[in-house]
Structures are given as structure tokens and as C-alpha cells.
Amino acid sequence: GLAGYSWGCGQRFDHETNSDDACTYHPGVPVFHDALKGWSCYKRRTTDFSDFLSIVRCTKGRHNSEKPPERVKPEVKTTEKKEISELKPKFQEHIIQAPKPVEAIKRINLDPYLISYIKINSKCIKELNVRAKIIKLLEENRKIS
């Protein structure tokens, strides 16, 4: 069989069995814009390529055995040099600047031996802090009563 060249068809067919409703295809062309994909004959757009391929073909007709001509992309030629002022946007730019960084907080330089002592005895220090809080609460309670 011959290959069908209508958009979205991709089936093989025989000229003898080709009828007016043998082929279901897209009469438009594929549209790729930003991350969206779709067909010019269909409003739906998708970001997923599998979804794009599964968009229902919207027209019935005879299978087409003629390969469509290659689309020619227009060449972009720039022969004239433009001034920098011409290349700048014609509207008023509004630039938002990030806030200035806050000055770094100066750290206290602790003695390395003290740091290792604190790490080793962190459980003891936590217990001392808890005891100090309990003592403080008891003292405050005595002042109230």
C-alpha cells in the first residue's frame, strides 16, 4: 500500500479501496508556540507531546498519496546597521532593584576549648538551664505568696 500524507493520518492505503471518508486527518498544520503544541484547525493546545499526538483528527476525506511540499522558512536578512538608540525599547523601562544586603552580624570569637567543652557537655548544660528555670520560677512564686 501507499503511505497517506495527510496530517495525522500516517496509514497505508490502496488506491482501489480509497473512498471519500477513508482518511481522518487534520486539514491544518501543527503549531508549536512556546511550550504549547496543537493544530491550526483545532483550538486546544497542550504541553505534553503524547497529548498533542492524540488530539482527535477533525476532517474526513480521501487518502492523499502526494507528499506536501517542504515548508520554506523565510530568510532573515539585515543589511542596514542600526544605531544603538534604535535598538533600545521605545517604552519607559521600570527597573526594580533588590534591597541592599544587611550588614553581617559580627560573631563573638569563642575559645575553641570552650566550644568543645560546650559540645561535650551539652546535656549537662541543658539540665543546668532547666534547673535554673525551675529555681527562678520557685523564687518568683515565693515573691508572689
Alpha-carbon separation of residue 137 from 62, 123, 129 (angstroms)? 93, 21, 12
CATH of residue 56's domain is 4.10.1130.20
How many domains does the chain divide into? Answer: 2
**pLDDT at position 87:** 65
If you average pLDDT over residues 66-84, what whole number do you get? Answer: 68
Task: Measure the CA angle with vertex 21, ends 19 and 24; round to 5°.
Answer: 125
Residue 21 domain flag: yes
C-alpha cell at 94: 521600570
- Model confidence over 47-65: pLDDT tens digits? 888 888 888 887 788 777 7
**DSSP annotation string for 52-117:** HHTSPP-EEE----SPPPPPPPPPP---S---HHHHS-SS---PPPPPPPPPPPPPP---HHHHHH
Q: Is residue 118 assigned to a domain? A: yes
For residue range 103-144, what is the model confidence (pLDDT) as tens digits? Answer: 666 666 667 766 676 666 677 767 777 778 888 888 887 776
Domain around 33? 2-61
**Residue 105 has what pLDDT?**
64
In a domain, 41, yes or no: yes
pLDDT at 62: 79
pLDDT of 10-48, one tens digit each? Answer: 777 777 778 787 888 787 788 888 888 888 887 888 888
89 assigned to some structural domain: no
Report which DSSP code applies to 4: P
Is residue 82 domain-resident? no
pLDDT of residue 112: 72
